[in-house]
Structure 1
Amino acid sequence: MIVLLPLAVIGWYTYVRAVDQFASHVGFTVRQEDQGQTQALLGGLAQLAGPTAAGGALDGDILNEFIRSQGLVARVDERLDLWSHYAAFHAIDPVFALRPGGTIEDLHAYWGRIVTIDYDQATGLIGLELRAFDADFAQSVARAVLDESQSLVNDLNAAARDDLVMAAEADVELGLARLKSAREALVNFRTRTQIVDPETDLEARMGVQTSLQQQLAQALVEYDLLVQSAGEQAPSVVQAERKIDVIRDRLADERQAFASDQSYVGVEGYPALIAEYESLTVDREYAEETYRAALAQLDAAKASAARQSRYLAAYALPTLAEAPIYPKRQQIMLVSLLFLCLGWALVVLIYYSIRDRG
């Protein structure tokens, strides 16, 4: 009664009422293109694409969750009308068929019964087994899952490309703003000091004073020679004295002008002016190099975005079953016999335990 009668009912249902199910197998993985020099040029920008760009392993995790998701079930149902197929045999086989008139949550729960996922996280390989009451329909479901998975990979690819280009464009805008600021600071410095290059201006002024000092020294030597040869009252000596006075006045004017410029540019004078100019020049050169690098990164990002960096590679296309393999009747019978025997043994032990105590 405890073992044979339930076992007979289970055997009758599995062999008489249960409808045969066919299985279609498909296998795929996500491959990522080796971009070589492009990725090296992009540098850290590739990391801004987020986890979806980290390679096949994370893409496999996403696909694994996507295949189990309610969203995929809704898409496949819209494409193939899963309700019509899996609920058609509910009157004959209420155990293995889908109960009609349910919700998307019911269909999603039933999806877990007809789809078996074999996912190897180390290699990123995904193997699927999809069951249906018809071999062609099982193959159609497998193709639909493969197509939807490819669409997901394309969406991930597009999102990664958009993030990469957006990050590169943001760097270009930041570099351009920094370059404009550096150039404006240099222009303001030149407007304020009225000096294009303090070093060149200082060299020019010191060169003029040095030249005047050399001319003064030469004029003094010539004056001494004329005094010794022609006397102090000679016209040539008077002319030499005038020349010396003119050079001295000119040298004094240059020194006075240089001193007034020193007070204009600040207490510290030209050293502080040159230090400020060099700092502004370094900022401008750094901004120019950063901007050029950002432009190169943007060009590389656009070149990378024009290519398909990741794609779905199917190593096993959806198969067409020639014979049903579900439900596994012998396996069901053996498992049922095991649990029924265990239940019978438990009932016997409880019975004898109660009888011995009485």
Structure 2
Amino acid sequence: MRSRDRAWPSPLVLSFIAFVLLPIAIVAVYLFTIAADQYVSEFRFSLNSIDPPRLDPLSLLAGNVSHSPAGSESQIVVQYMTSRAVIDQLDAALDLHRMFSPPEADWWSRLPRPTSIEGLVQYWRGQVDPFYDPANGTVVVRVRAFTPAEALQLAQAIVAASEQLVNDLSTRARHDALRNGESEVTHAETRLKAVLGEIRAFRDREGLIDPAKTAEVSGTIAARLKDELVRANAELSTLKSYMQDDAPSVKVLKARIRSLEGQQRVVARDLTDRDPNRDDTLSRQLGSYEQLESERRFAEAAYQHALHGLDQARANADRQQVYIASFVPPSLPEEALYPRRWRSLAVVALIAFAVWAIGGLAVQSIRDHF
């Protein structure tokens, strides 16, 4: 009986076998005989803008400087890479269910079938690992797949989707930046066209191209008539000094003076008639035209100002355009990096040994108390 009792291993040895050696053996069998190889394609890029940011001296002293000119956009791209939006886009082109559930993949590492979109999103986040490094403003992405070609294909598809996202964001930001400027230009252009239409209608209604020039000509005529009238009156005074009033020369000169005075009254009436019932006087026409011309000049100035503002907004939007600068493009992997067999086995061994040791100490402590 004693020899048989001595042949059985002690409980400590049995527990070590059950909680340490057996899990290690099971995991080793899985890792080295069952687990499918997974290949990693890595790429790196940064988001740059045409106009680099101006560094604030206070930020330099505080050490709070972001080397990336598009840090917020980089974080948006990183979040997009793990979102359902990119999965829906790539699944339609690559069939992610087929790519992540190949026949050669083991049951533990492949995507279960059937699976919901939520399950695909969760699995995707384990296969695609994007990381934004604010220290140098770069984005590092590691993509895993069960074949080298599929890892490269998936990485290239993610790059293309990210570029499309950045272009869409830049286009949307540019459109938003130019929207106000374009609206102001449209408003100013509409106002200018309306004023020009009023001027055209005024010219058609009054039969005058430029009342200012017409008034200038009328003023010249009035001045000439006044000069002629002054000369005629002077000549009449001279004739009366040695001729009778009924002399033919005096009569002719008086008739000419009356004609000049009549012409002068007509010109003066056309220029400044105070009759409120008349709308065709040149003074009123000139006042209306000058008001329209003032509105035209103001509308043209507002239109030019709006065009200048739109040009500045367009130039600023062009300088702030963001683009992806890929300095490490996706490449075809040659060796499988996953699963990390020896590292995983070592982690399992440490955990199993720690659990066994803690459990043994706990059991021994209980025995000592009882």
TM-score greater than 0.5 by the shorter chain: yes
> What is the RMSD computed on CA atoms of the aligned residues?
4.7
Q: CA deviation at 1:80?
A: 4.5
Pick aligned residue for 1:25 from 41, 44, 47: 41
Q: Does 1:282 align with 2:297?
A: yes
Is the deviation greater in 201-210 or in 257-266? Answer: 257-266
Give the Cα separation in 2 of the matches to 1:30 and 1:91.
Answer: 34
User: In structure 2, do the counterparts of structure 1 residues 142 and 72 end up closer, same or farther at CA, with 3 Å as the change threshold?
Assistant: same
Pick the aligned partner of 1:127 from 134, 140, 165: 140
Q: Which sections of structure 1, spanning at least 5 residues, go unmatched? A: 36-54
Identity of aligned residues (%): 20
Equivalent residue, structure 2, for 1:40: none
Q: What is residue 251 of structure 1 aligned with on the other side?
A: 264
- 1:186 maps to 2:202: no
For 1:145-164, list aligned pairs within 5 A: 145-153=158-166
The Cα shift of 1:341 comes to 3.5
Determine if the alignment matches structure 1 residue 205 to structure 2 residue 218. Answer: yes
Rg larger in 1 or in 2?
2
Q: Following TM superposition, by how much is the alpha carbon of 1:256 offset from its aligned partner in structure 2, in angstroms?
A: 3.0
- The alpha carbon displacement at 1:157 in A equals 6.6
Amino acid at match of 1:246: S
> Structure 1 residues 216 and 242, CA, compared in 2 at 3 Å: closer, same or farther?
same
**2: CA distance, partners of 1:291 / 1:91:** 63
Q: Deviations over 1:108-158 (max 9, x none)?
A: 111111221122357553211122344443333323323443454565577
Distance 1:156 1:239, change over 3 A: same
Offset from partner CA, 1:80-106 (integer Å, 9 cap, x none): 444345445799553x33323222221
Matched, 1:116 2:129: yes
CA drift at 1:164? 8.9
Match of 2:130, SS state, is strand
Residue 239 of structure 1, CA deviation: 1.9
Query: In structure 2, what is the Cα distance between the partners aligned to 1:189 and 1:340?
Result: 101
Q: Say how many residue pairs are matched.
A: 330
User: Partners in 1 of 2:90 and 2:246 — Cα distance?
Assistant: 120
Decide which of 70, 77, 86 is 2:84's aligned counterpart: 70
Number of the residue aligned with 1:44: none
Give 1:184 deviation, angstroms.
Answer: 1.2
Distance 2:26 2:231 in 1: 128
- For residues 340 and 265 of structure 1, the distance between their equivalents in structure 2, rounded to whole angstroms, comes to 110
Structure 2: gaps spanning 5 or more residues:
1-11, 52-68
SS of 1:229's equivalent in the other structure is coil
Secondary structure of 2:241's counterpart equals: helix
CA drift at 1:320: 0.7
Q: Residues 107 and 220 from structure 1, CA distance in 2 versus in 1: closer, same or farther, beyond 3 angstroms?
A: same
Residues in 1 aligned to 2:173 and 2:134: alpha-carbon distance in whole angstroms: 22
Give 1:229's match in structure 2, choosing from 242, 248, 266.
242
User: Which amino acid in the other structure matches residue 294 of structure 2?
Assistant: S
For 1:317, what is the secondary structure of its paired residue? coil
Spell out, residue by residue over 1:176-232, the C-alpha distance to the aligned partner (whole angstroms, 9 max, x if none): 533431211112333455443332232222222221111111011111112223444
2:97 maps to 1:83:
yes
Question: Which residue matches 2:8?
Answer: none
TM-score by length of 2: 0.67
1:73 maps to a residue whose letter is I
Q: Which residue of the other structure, out of 314, 329, 341, is the alignment partner of 1:316? A: 329
Q: Deviations over 1:38-75 (max 9, x none)?
A: xxxxxxxxxxxxxxxxx754543343223212233344
